[in-house]
Amino acid sequence: MSENPVRDLKPIKFGEKEYSARLPVSAIKKIESELKTPLLKIAMKLQATELTLDECISILKIVIVAGGNDIEKDEIEKACNNIDYLQVYKLCADILTQGIGTDSEKKT
């Protein structure tokens, strides 16, 4: 059985702190439930610059918790103060790209 490359995301860094992140189906379902929007539409909102910072922080919290970290949303908000706000959106874009992508060109 092959590994699903969507599940493991690259580490998320906030200044000095680094968190492992995962995006299993359960995390995708939580994101969709919390934002009340399908994942593909969330990605489209981000592309159209309509995704709020609060929504990005919610996405980050879900994937960081899925990565095995015990963290609250307010801790992520504080951590976001250590990086440029555009970097927060870039992190979300990377997550969403992996969530909806097939990664069929991945070399073994």
Q: What are the extents of the domains in the chain?
A: 8-100
pTM: 0.83
If phi over 0 gives left and psi between -120 and 50 gives alpha, with beta otherwise, what is residue 20?
beta
Of 50-54, 61-65, 91-95, 100-104, the range with the lowest mean pLDDT is: 100-104
pLDDT band at 108 (very low <50, low <70, confident <90, very high): very low
pLDDT tens figures, 39-83 = 999 999 999 999 999 999 999 999 999 999 999 999 999 888 888
Contact status, residue 66 vs residue 22, Cβ threshold 8 Å: yes
Asked if residue 105 has pLDDT above 80, the reply is no
CA neighbor of 88 nearest in space, from 98, 100, 76: 76
